[in-house]
Amino acid sequence: MGGLDDDIIVEEESEKRSRAASPCGHPEDLYGTQSSHRLLAYSDALISIIATVMILPVAHTKVTNEEVVSLAVFQELTQSVQLLLTTKIAVYLVTFLIVTVAWAAHIRLFQVIVRIDDCLALLNLACMMLITFLPYTFSLMATFPANVLGILLFCGCVMVIGVIQSVIVLYAFSRPFLLNHQIQISENPTLYRSHILKVIMRVPLICLMAGVCSFILFQLSYVLLAVVIFLPYISQSIAWCRSKAFGQTEESPDSMVFYSLLPSEPLSKERVEAFSDGVYAIVATLLILDICEDNVPDPAVVQEQFGGSLIEALKVYGPEYLAYFGSFATVGLLWFVHHSLFLHITKATRLMGLLNTLSLAFVGGLPLAYQLTHEFPRNSRNELEAIQISCVIIFFAGIFQLTIWVAALHSERETLHPRVRYSGCEHVFMLAKLSLYPCVTLGTFFLTCVLSRFSASIFHLMEITVPVAFLVLRLLVRFALALLRLLFRPNPPDPGRVVEEDATVPFNPLATE
């Protein structure tokens, strides 16, 4: 989406200039249009919070576990608790997917509408209010699968969101200066309007059908709701089948690529970053939220049970602080890898967006897995399981980040910066960065299988070494680069000079720009 980003920057600049030049009387000023940048940032923040909210009931279940465990200290997790946990984790994952589908629709809408006014801002807020209510309706569906109320509420919300989005589109097309430049200069904007409305109204119509079906056969309505989530992929495969059967019958105009539902459709890179930042930030602080609320001891309890010694009372919470720092560091480092990756991505596609969503969904489970590792008695079977679950979650979060890169490499000319392409000088470094977490967690996982008695020590060792490894990694890759240069240069300089260059930075690179 480099092109669009550039447009936005250029537009903001020209806006600044035009503002400075024409203080008043200009019709643009009169109607109060604004760059949509901040509205989108606020929407991204709201949606990222809502996407991660259903992890909280999962966390809550674990507190109940703790009670169960404290009652029967060395018993294993009962099967019923495990079933409940599995249900809640499934609810979390599906909610995450549903909310990100709504978010992707929001991105596409505001790739068409590039400027806003007060009315659009208020309509968007109403839309957001309903999106934030979706996780709750879905959680009702999961708790009462045979009751139609959950389905009806969910379908009702989605339909109202669809209606509001249609109103937004109609409003924006009635004020063409709010639209994308491409549509503004096109000869037939009504063609665009009907195409976009058709795409938007598809989802509410399926939901209407699902709502009607729920009275007849509620199982069918769940199938229809699943269709909503996978609609892009279904419609794409239908189009593929059709093109195979009848030849290339339907070809949308080139400029409509951003409303085509293809996996190579560009997503706004800026918004993918903003959404990811929001999720990482919420997830990194999930444990401190609990700690601030629950782990301040009661003065009376300290006086009675610990003889007034606050240090003794706080020692009880020791493992929880450790869990907090561990999860914050891991989430922070995963953010760091994500940040490094997206720095070199020039265009994000739908497929990369989906992989990013899956990576983020695993990141969301991380602090709770960490919390679990410090909750069980040392060397119990539960502790081993919790540590292995943590490793698996980190592994998947890391491996999906790696697949984003792999997906980008498939069409590297369009999506990647030259430096990290196959022939690029930072290709190896990026690969090392992205594969560090998957490799380390895989190693830890198998080590804990073999040396199950030392699982906790191995895990803590991993926690401490990974941040250091990220620093050493840089030096290692630098060293490897220096070696490669030595091997391939006709007149190799002595290795001492290379090290010296590293240490002193003899010239100012910005001065050469």
3-state secondary structure at position 349: strand
Pick one of 90, 125, 238, 472: the residue that binds a second copy (CB under 8 A). Answer: 125
Nearer of residues 63 and 449 to a second copy, judged by Cβ? 63
Residues 234-293 that bind a second copy (CB under 8 A): 273-274, 277-278, 280-282, 284-285, 288-289, 291-293
The CB-of-235 to a second copy minimum distance in angstroms stands at 31
- For the chain, helix (H) and strand (E) counts, in that order, are 21, 4
Residue 263 C-beta: closest distance to a second copy, Å = 25
Restricting to residues 9-38, name those near a second copy by CB under 8 A: 9, 12-14, 16, 18-20, 23-29, 31-34, 38
In the complex, least distance from residue 131 CB atom to a second copy, rounded to whole angstroms: 10
With CB under 8 A as the contact rule, the residue among 474, 484, 486, 492 that binds a second copy is 474
114 vs 203 by CB, closer to a second copy: 114
Q: How far is the CB of 310 from a second copy (least distance, A)?
A: 5
Under the criterion CB under 8 A, does residue 487 sit at the interface with a second copy?
Answer: no
Residue 460 makes contact with a second copy by CB under 8 A: no
Answer yes or no whether residue 156 interacts with a second copy by CB under 8 A: no
Q: Which stretch binds a second copy (CB under 8 A): 66-74, 354-362, 466-474, 489-497?
A: 466-474
Number of neighbouring beta carbons within 10 Å of residue 430: 23
Q: Does 186 bind a second copy (CB under 8 A)?
A: no
Contact flag: residue 204 with a second copy (CB under 8 A): no
Q: Which of 195, 202, 419, 460 binds a second copy (CB under 8 A)?
A: 419
Distance CA(327)–CA(15), nearest Å, equals: 43
SS3 352: helix
How many CB atoms within 10 Å of residue 64?
Answer: 12
Q: Nearest approach, Cβ of 217 to a second copy (angstroms)? A: 19
Which residue lies nearer to a second copy by CB, 49 or 220? 49
Q: Does 417 bind a second copy (CB under 8 A)?
A: yes
Q: Is 122 in the site for a second copy (CB under 8 A)?
A: yes
Per 3-state DSSP, the chain is made up of helix, strand and coil in percentages (nearest 5) of: 80, 0, 15
Find the shortest distance in angstroms from Cβ 474 to a second copy: 6
* Single-letter residue type at 350: R
Q: Does 381 contact a second copy by CB under 8 A?
A: no
Pick one of 71, 311, 450, 487: the residue that binds a second copy (CB under 8 A).
Answer: 311
- Where does this chain touch a second copy (CB under 8 A) — which range of 147-155, 214-222, 237-245, 447-455? 147-155
Q: CB neighbours (10 Å) of residue 65?
A: 20
Full DSSP string of 154-196: HHHHHHHHHHHHHHHHHHHHHSGGGB-HHHHHSS-HHHHHHHH
Residue 418 in the binding site for a second copy (CB under 8 A)? yes
Place of tokens 């919070």: 49
Residue 512's H or E segment, with its range, is: none
Q: Does 80 bind a second copy (CB under 8 A)?
A: no
The CA-atom distances, in angstroms, between 111 and each of 4, 104, 169, 256 are: 8, 11, 12, 11
Asked if residue 227 binds a second copy (CB under 8 A), the reply is no
Strands 115-116 vs 266-267: parallel, antiparallel or unpaired: unpaired
Give the whole-angstrom CA distance, residue 260 versus residue 266: 10
Cα maximum dimension of the chain: 83
Tell the smallest beta-carbon distance from residue 499 to a second copy (Å).
14
The 37-76 site mask, x for binding a second copy (CB under 8 A), equals: -xx-xx--xx--xx--xx-xx--x----------------
Size of the site for a second copy (CB under 8 A): 110
Q: If you search the block for the tokens 């909280």, which residue do you land on?
A: 56
φ, ψ dihedrals at 508, nearest 5°: -95, 110
Task: Rule CB under 8 A: choose which of 171, 222, 325, 479 binds a second copy.
Answer: 325
Closer residue to a second copy, CB minimum distance, 60 or 410: 60
Least separation in angstroms between residue 311's CB and a second copy is 6
Please name the residue that has the structure tokens 């030392």. Answer: 454
Among 3, 253, 332, 377, binds a second copy (CB under 8 A): 332
**3-state class of 266 per DSSP?**
strand
Residue 116's DSSP bridge partners are 34
Q: How far is the CB of 264 from a second copy (least distance, A)?
A: 21
Interatomic CA distance for residues 108 and 266, integer angstroms: 9
Separation CA 368–CA 331 (nearest Å): 12
- Angle between helix axes 148-174 and 79-112 (nearest 10 degrees) is 10
**Rounded alpha-carbon distances, angstroms, from residue 139 to 144, 151, 183, 328, 440:** 9, 10, 40, 28, 35
